[in-house]
Amino acid sequence: MTKAAGASLLFLLAMTGQAHAQAGAEPPVAYVVKPGDTLIGLGRAYLNRPDDYRTVQKTNRVSKPTRLQPGSRLHIDPNLLKSAPIAASISAFSGPVQVEANGQRIPARVGMPLAEGQVVITGPGAFATFEMEDGSRVTLPSNTRVRINRLRQVLINNAPQRVFQLDQGRGTISATPATTPDARFEVRTPVSVSAVRGTEFRVGADGDKAQTEVLKGAVGVDLGALPKGSAPVQAGFGVSATPGGVGGPVALLPAPKMGPGGQTQSDAIVRFTLQPVEGARAYRLQLARDAGFIDIFSEVMTDATSFAPTADFGQVANGTYFVRLTALDQGGLEGFPADYSFDRDLNTLTAGAPSDTREGKHRKFLFRWSAAGEGVRNYRFQMFSDANDQVPVVDQPGLTEPQVTVTDLPAGAYQWRVIATRFKDGIVSEKAGSLQPLQIGQPKQTGPSKPSRK
């Protein structure tokens, strides 16, 4: 998490016209001259080729390379400077995730190191998170492609340079606050550049539109036509960028609240209901194995047309998980998240249709049911002669098999059910199935009788 996000500033630059050229160029690195510095000495210590000090001399209009004014600033092309790679690696992934390098793709693995020039690609239903040595991390959902343009630390000022190209998809970024003023952390899209110093934000790219939502920190928007120093956009707002520029800040929607029953998932399908958020067009739900949502493994989008929006995740293995809920507004900006933990403990009890057979004068009814989930069970079968009768006509406890046979039931209307007692991890629990109807013989006629035909 960001520790100093309240004082951070996020800058967006629309990549159109002159702004596009500026965004594509690498900005110079600033160096504050110290007593005793000379261009020749700096060249030997910090330049890839010592003789390139002459280029620095010309760019900064220094008359004598052996005389520098302490406290003055030199602006140096970053391509001339020595640097050390910043360590980064895949910390979690699920589904088809690949890392592309030199035109070849290899499957991702936890702990795989990442370097400049590589591309992280998540396929359908896939998720990936990679982290850097300072704790900054980038989390990518399905169908996303991110190229690592810069991942190095410039030695002359110990400033990390981390630049990523989001070609398509989305990314959630948690950037650890930088300790040096010339540090760079940028996420570029085909439409915009997001440069940050310690904050939490999301970036999405879809064709000629990009969106940024800031969860912590502040945002300064430079449209090129606006004067420098414009009032920054505060945390809790998002902006959309197109080739025509960056729109004004829009307040992010509040976090949705989970509906009843979501934090205990025992049914065959993992399902969540949400309390509606005013102004929401859709909702996004993500499942993760950890509270920090580094190891995300599933995502569902649901629209906001129903009174109680519902999201189904299908079958999920038993365990403790975390679900994140967000609401998307009419423009597609994603709001604040709400995170919940939930326990997945499959425990179902399903009744089958009874069958009957005759053996001589006797009529036998075979009742079957099924149970799913871990643990050992025994069953109690009950049958009632009327839906309102609380006294069962058949009450058979202690069944170890999911079936029972009842013989020679009189004609009439019945209700039957099964109660399962489960023993798991030293805990005893009960689950009662719903009442099932059974009609034997013709039902009694309650309305007026039909006249007979002659």
Q: Residue 446 is which amino acid?
A: T
Q: Do domains 5-23+84-251 and 257-344 have the same CATH topology?
A: no
pLDDT of residue 447: 55
pLDDT of residue 44: 96
Q: Domain-by-domain residue ranges, the chain?
A: 5-23+84-251, 29-76, 257-344, 348-440
Q: Which of 96, 62, 80, 77 is nearest to 26 (CA)?
A: 77
pLDDT at 58 over 70: yes
Question: For the ranges 27-41, 83-97, 195-209, 282-296, which has the lowest average pLDDT?
Answer: 195-209
Q: Which of 83, 156, 146 is nearest to 117 (CA)?
A: 146
pLDDT of residue 233: 60
Mind listing the pLDDT tens digit for each residue in 10-49? 344 333 223 333 444 678 888 999 999 999 999 999 999 9
Give the whole-angstrom CA distance, residue 96 versus residue 430. Answer: 40
Using pLDDT thresholds of 50, 70 and 90, give the confidence band for residue 320.
very high
Radius of gyration of the chain (CA): 33
Q: Are the CB atoms for 141 and 163 separated by under 8 Å?
A: no
pLDDT of residue 271: 95
Mind listing the pLDDT tens digit for each residue in 261-302? 888 899 999 999 999 999 999 999 999 999 999 999 999 999
* This prediction's pTM: 0.81
Using pLDDT thresholds of 50, 70 and 90, give the confidence band for residue 197.
low
How many C-beta atoms lie closer than 10 Å to residue 108's C-beta? 23
Q: Which of 37, 307, 340, 27 is nearest to 185 (CA)?
A: 27
> Average pLDDT, stretch 165-170?
94
pLDDT of residue 432: 95
Helical H segments across 346-446, by residue range? none
Using pLDDT thresholds of 50, 70 and 90, give the confidence band for residue 176.
confident
Which of 186-195, 377-386, 437-446 holds the top average pLDDT?
A: 377-386
Residue 47 carries which DSSP code?
B
How many C-beta atoms lie closer than 10 Å to residue 1's C-beta? 9
Q: Are the CB atoms for 177 and 198 separated by under 8 Å?
A: yes
Residue 413, beta-bridge partner list: 439
Distances (CA, A) of 180 to 12, 156, 159, 184, 295: 21, 11, 6, 9, 30
CATH number of the 257-344 domain: 2.60.40.2550
Mind listing the pLDDT tens digit for each residue in 378-398? 999 999 987 567 789 999 999
* Class of residue 51 by CB neighbours under 10 A (exposed 0-12, middle 13-18, buried 19+): exposed
Q: Residue 174 is which amino acid?
A: S
Q: Are the CB atoms for 139 and 295 separated by under 8 Å?
A: no
pLDDT of residue 359: 81
What is the CATH topology of the domain spanning 5-23+84-251? Jelly Rolls (2.60.120)
Q: Are the CB atoms for 197 and 175 separated by under 8 Å?
A: yes
- Name the superfamily (CATH) of residues 29-76: LysM domain (3.10.350.10)
Give the whole-angstrom CA distance, residue 311 versus residue 78. Answer: 48
Give the whole-angstrom CA distance, residue 335 versus residue 275. Answer: 15
Give the whole-angstrom CA distance, residue 429 versus residue 418. Answer: 14
pLDDT at 226 over 90: no
Q: Which of 23, 28, 26 is nearest to 241 (CA)?
A: 23
pLDDT at 116 over 90: yes
Mean pLDDT over each residue of the chain, to the nearest integer: 86
What is the CATH topology of the domain spanning 348-440? Immunoglobulin-like (2.60.40)
* Residues shown for the chain: 454
pLDDT at 444 over 70: no
